Structure 1
Amino acid sequence: MKKKLLILAALIVLAGAGWGLTYLYQVKSYQNKVANLTVSDIPFSRLADGTYVGECDVRFIDAKVQVSVKNGKVTRIDLLKHKNGHGAPAEVILKEIVTKQSLEVDAVSGASNSSKVLKKAVENALVLGMK
């Protein structure tokens, strides 16, 4: 009986260690994806009229946007999905992108990763609208 309990305890410890290592791998992968994420400024004046959908997923943060373009200007950005930890404050950058007509907007302090992911989702949408 005692031997069975020791084996069971060892299996539980091994399973926990396996889960922990898997989680650490996922966190490292997420950090690398965010660190390597680049956002290029797109000349909005070269965009064709239309509505475009873009996404960006870096595991723990996932965003999907719908961008409306008219006469070479981004007129509206709708947030279709934003899975995040504490990154909800970053959503204000979507309005800033429309106001400034540029992807070169400052990240929101405390939500810089979500800011980057949201901007990349917008960029991915706008690439579809390039003339």
Structure 2
Amino acid sequence: MSKNKVIRRILTVMIIVVLGMFITIYISIQGLNKKIGSVEINNIDLYKVRDGEYSGDYSFKEIIASKVKVTVDNNKITNIDLIEHKYGLGKKAETIISRVIDSQSLNVDVVSGATASSKVILKSIENALTKEKVN
């Protein structure tokens, strides 16, 4: 067998392997997106939340996680500190914090292209506001 044929066969096998890996990754991501879509974010009645600081966290499949500290004053969210965010490709989801503060609600649109991270951050905020205050 000639050297060129051997090289072509090796390249063909490599291309097939790489293509297979990309297909597997794509299918995995689609499965994760479907599962994260089922995570329900419950809105919080801020009139039932006492003034103070609250911490909360949430993780999804140990791939995406966040920890927040939420400050409430006069029944309004005045600040949200993102203490930790394990995000993979979803760093841009961190902008959802300003949406929550501006709307004073967890009922906000997720950040396009960062749905999973957006939902994890929102769930962390929800979990914080349903716990006892830190101080």
Bin for the TM-score computed over the shorter chain = 0.7 to 0.9
Give the TM-score taking structure 1 as reference length: 0.73
Deviation at 1:33, TM superposition (A): 5.2
* Match status 1:125 vs 2:128: yes
Mark the runs of 5 or more structure 2 residues left unpaired by the alignment: 1-24
Q: Is the 8 A contact 1:50 1:129 kept in 2?
A: no
Give the TM-score taking structure 2 as reference length: 0.71
Distance 2:78 2:125 in 1: 13
> Which segment drifts farther, 40-49 or 72-81?
40-49
Mark the runs of 5 or more structure 1 residues left unpaired by the alignment: 1-23
Percent of aligned pairs with the same residue?
40
Distance 1:109 1:129 in 2: 32
Distance 1:80 1:46 in 2: 24
1:6-25 Cα shifts (integer Å, max 9, x gaps): xxxxxxxxxxxxxxxxxx9x
RMSD, aligned α-carbons? 2.3
Deviation at 1:129, TM superposition (A): 5.1
Alignment partner for residue 36 of structure 1, among 35, 38, 41? 38
Alignment partner for residue 88 of structure 2, among 77, 80, 85? 85
Deviation at 1:44, TM superposition (A): 1.3
Q: Is the 8 A contact 1:53 1:64 kept in 2?
A: yes
Runs (4+) off by over 6 Å: none
3-state DSSP class of the match of 1:89?
helix
Aligned CA distance change for structure 1 residues 129 and 98 (closer, same or farther; 3 Å): farther
Deviation at 1:104, TM superposition (A): 0.6
3-state DSSP class of the match of 2:53?
strand
